[in-house]
Amino acid sequence: MMSTDAQAAIARLRDSGLLKSKGLVGGKWVDSYDGKTVQVQNPATGDVIANVPCMGKRETDDAISSAYNTFYSWSKRTASERSKCLRKWYDLIVSHKEDLALLITLEQGKPLKEALGEVSYGAAFIEFFAEEAKRIYGDIIPPTSSDRRLFVLKQPVGVVGAITPWNFPLAMITRKVGPALACGCTVIVKPSEYTPLTALAAADLALQAGIPPGALNVVMGNAPDIGDSLLQSTQVRKITFTGSTAVGKKLMAGSANTVKKVSLELGGNAPCIVFDDADLDVAVKGSLAAKFRNSGQTCVCANRILVQEGIYDEFANALTKAVQNLQVGNGLVEGVVQGPLINEAAVEKVEKFVNDATSKGANVILGGKRHSLGMTFYEPTILGNVNSEMLVSREEVFGPVAPLLPFKTEEEAIKIANDTNAGLAAYIFTKSIPRSWRVSEALEYGLVGVNEGLISTEVAPFGGAKQSGLGREGSKYGIDEYLELKYVCMGNLEA
């Protein structure tokens, strides 16, 4: 039974039809074949918002068949036709942005304003790739003999399996599905079981936009079973994944058997380096945004804040003032900027990292414990005197904890920053242009923000170096991940 609180929240939907609680296979809304379901809960209250089907191998196999059968007709449509469908989908997402944001806040916890921001960001990938659909050019290569002509065609890779996490319930899907559909691929999406409702609502809007049944399927439930079905199928030609490094490695290994194309967006361990010559206000504002967005639950969140000795005290004080003002609570409440963590395990991880740090000599400048609101709320926290040996520096904390690591020289900062297997985002704060270049080039990361804490956009390539992943999403580069190059040699033209 849904609680009255959950019912009241759902009643705020302008279009109640967007609350879907079935999977989408071949354009049909379906239950799991054995009738089993999984609960979707609001992390801020523990309320059950919906029960969705607990699907597995059989449902996924059917979704793959449907995507495979639709591939032929969808990929044969002109780029302009596919572009128009995507554009319509974009328009529908934008016209339903309040409802989609409400679903995001309900199932994921982020504040409503931030959820609205995610809808705009997520929609932008569909708009961008609707435009990009028409710009998938091939090449003509000057031949090596006069009776030959050499061409390069770019063709869609085929059926795509897209596995996505809970921290951006819409945007992690649109930035995969947008380019895939744009170039003619068909897709099976497996959203996180924590946040399937946004995915299902977005898929409903895709159907309304005229994206044909079977081009976009959504299955959820038993993640390893669904994953195995996608991995084992010879019809699935590409796996695209955003999530933990551990699961990403499993999917990469599992793709080897059928030699699928693989793109992975995995965990980060973002350094945020504040140099003595930084503009203090810019550094505080940027670090705050880079650290506390989504309560620290993004893979580009600043994980380690490296602060040069000369500015350390001043920066720690200013950051503390700013973090003290962050209002924690249910994301539906006006003024709240820090929602709950996704679940109990997430809070336990944060507690473990904070305890490890304090036991090794770090001091708690602010917070450092569960919030009095209970549930999975944790106090926005700042730790001082952190060093590279502590867990909080070695691994992604994925919570509202800002560890400050003092350093002396630029060289030392670069060494500390690169001393990790991760390589997704990095941030630097300095007023020096030569230093901006030097450090940006030295950082072994896929994204670098200079004097800026929020840098993701659909027009720029997003992706990691080292064990943070393979491939790039968004931008003109993002569509290459869904394309196969074909070289055609025409010979004997003068015969």
Q: Closest by alpha carbon to 121, among 300, 286, 254, 258?
A: 300
Task: Name which of 42 and 164 has its Cβ closer to ligand ADP.
Answer: 164
Task: Name which of 43 and 329 has its Cβ closer to ligand ADP.
Answer: 43
Q: What is the spatial order of strands in the sheet that 149-156 belongs to?
A: 139-141, 149-156, 483-490
Q: What is the nearest approach in angstroms of ligand ADP to the Cβ of residue 4?
A: 29
Q: What is the nearest approach in angstroms of ligand ADP to the Cβ of residue 433?
A: 37
Helix axes 79-95, 171-183, angle to 10 degrees: 160
Q: What is the nearest approach in angstroms of ligand ADP to the Cβ of residue 244?
A: 3
Task: Name which of 43 and 368 has its Cβ closer to ligand ADP.
Answer: 43
* Amino acid, single-letter form, for residue 476: K
Answer yes or no: are the C-beta atoms of 289 and 321 closer than 8 Å: no
Q: What is the spatial order of strands in the sheet that 236-242 belongs to?
A: 28-30, 23-25, 216-218, 186-190, 159-163, 236-242, 261-265, 469-470
* Amino acid, single-letter form, for residue 27: G
- DSSP annotation of 107: H
Q: What is the nearest approach in angstroms of ligand ADP to the Cβ of residue 166?
A: 6
Task: Name which of 125 and 166 has its Cβ closer to ligand ADP.
Answer: 166
Task: Name which of 312 and 398 has its Cβ closer to ligand ADP.
Answer: 398
Is 265 known to be catalytic?
Answer: yes
* Amino acid, single-letter form, for residue 147: D
Q: What is the nearest approach in angstroms of ligand ADP to the Cβ of residue 224?
A: 4
Residue 229 backbone class (left: φ over 0; alpha: ψ -120 to 50; beta: rest): alpha
Q: Which long-range contacts (CB under 8 A, 24 or more apart) does 429-434 make?
A: 429/272, 429/273, 429/274, 429/275, 429/278, 429/279, 429/282, 429/283, 429/286, 429/287, 430/275, 430/277, 430/278, 431/277, 431/278, 431/279, 432/275, 432/277
Three-class secondary structure of residue 375 per DSSP: coil
Q: What is the nearest approach in angstroms of ligand ADP to the Cβ of residue 340?
A: 15
Catalytic-labelled residue, pool 59, 265, 379, 481: 265
Provide the greatest CA pair distance for the chain: 84
Q: What is the nearest approach in angstroms of ligand ADP to the Cβ of residue 468?
A: 13
Task: Name which of 288 and 342 has its Cβ closer to ligand ADP.
Answer: 342
* Amino acid, single-letter form, for residue 309: E
Residues that bind ligand ADP (CB under 6 A): 163-166, 190, 192-193, 223-224, 227, 243-244, 247, 250
- DSSP annotation of 55: B
Between β-strands 261-265 and 469-470, what pairing exists: parallel, antiparallel or unpaired?
antiparallel
**How far is the C-alpha of 340 from the C-alpha of 369, rounded, in Å?**
13
**How far is the C-alpha of 347 from the C-alpha of 340, rounded, in Å?**
9
Helix H or strand E segment including 361: none
Task: Name which of 55 and 130 has its Cβ closer to ligand ADP.
Answer: 55
Task: Name which of 63 and 133 has its Cβ closer to ligand ADP.
Answer: 63
Annotated catalytic residues are 265
